[in-house]
A and B are shown apart, each in its own frame.
Chain A
């Protein structure tokens, strides 16, 4: 059970970040040309590989309880950030994240800077930053999820599967992945990160969960119920008519 949830969580979390990175790269490639953008992507991917290769083995040598305590706590804070944003968006307090609008804004910004001949450092830097920063979050999730389960490879499988799905979809539609229900995906990722964070940090702190690993399912259900309850409360108090359901 744990392995399936691990791959699913790594897949979902990675897919969200990759959609954001792809939106930036597409905007750069379409407006400034693909060559410099591709160099930016390659440099960012190279940097990320170095980070994962350096951090993965180091984590495997740490004592499992301390690792779970630290990683679980960080994941929990990280997951709650996502969940908070998703709840506020679904509850109508914040605007929904719109990849189409992000793409248009990015294109306008890039076009305003004018066209370049030869190597375009601007395109390189924007593509590098987009892929590196979003990729860093993917790397963080893969290394922490995998490290805590002593199986970085399995978490990496989820991330690579997400990369393939996002790249293939991006190539086919050749546009920002506006049809991907990103806010719903983010809700799901926030739930997974928070549930895993509660489970691992408590276990690392010395708690024995009733039902052992099965309690993770109970935690996922608890976090879903909590978030849906908060969204319902927000919509009721704000009198919001119709927003994308989590």
Chain B
């Protein structure tokens, strides 16, 4: 059980890392792009915009945590 927990923690740290907001933000944005594409909208700009937003939010959160 402990080994399973360590295994899960390793993959969580490996893939999600220090801030889960980045992972959730990316998954939601990619889902949005996919939804738009399946409805005939080529929303190529959506993902870069979402990346800028989630990175700024994550950095701002870390700065506030250090203050």
Residue ID in chain A nearest B35 by CB atoms: A205
Verify A84–B38 contact, CB threshold 8 A: no
Query: Inside 8 A of A197's CB, which chain B residues have their CB?
Result: 26
Using a Cβ–Cβ cut-off of 8 Å, how many residues does chain A contribute to the interface with B?
A: 41
Using a Cβ–Cβ cut-off of 8 Å, how many residues does chain B contribute to the interface with A?
A: 30
Bound Cα distance A188, B26 (Å): 20
Given contacts A87-B59, A207-B37, A226-B52, contact A74 B47 (CB under 8 A): no
Residue ID in chain B nearest A225 by CB atoms: B52
Query: Inside 8 A of A85's CB, which chain B residues have their CB?
Result: 18
Query: Inside 8 A of A234's CB, which chain B residues have their CB?
Result: 59, 63
Bound Cα distance A87, B60 (Å): 11
Verify A202–B55 contact, CB threshold 8 A: no
Please report whether the interface of chain A is mostly helix, strand, loop or mixed according to DSSP.
helix
Interface residue? A14 (CB, 8 A): no
Verify A93–B62 contact, CB threshold 8 A: yes
Residues of chain A from 42 to 75 with CB closer than 8 A to chain B in the complex: 69, 72-74
Bound Cα distance A230, B53 (Å): 11
Residue ID in chain B nearest A136 by CB atoms: B14
Verify B59–A88 contact, CB threshold 8 A: yes
Verify A206–B37 contact, CB threshold 8 A: yes
Bound Cα distance A65, B43 (Å): 17
The 3 closest A-B pairs by CB, nearest first: A206-B37, A205-B34, A81-B17
Q: Name 13 interchain pairs, CB-CB below 8 A, sorted by A.
A: A80-B51, A84-B22, A140-B14, A198-B51, A201-B30, A201-B47, A207-B33, A208-B42, A209-B44, A223-B51, A226-B55, A230-B55, A234-B63
Residue numbers of A with Cβ under 8 A of B are 69, 72-74, 76-78, 80-81, 83-85, 87-88, 91, 93-94, 136-137, 140, 194, 197-198, 201-202, 205-210, 215, 219, 222-223, 226-227, 230, 234, 237-238
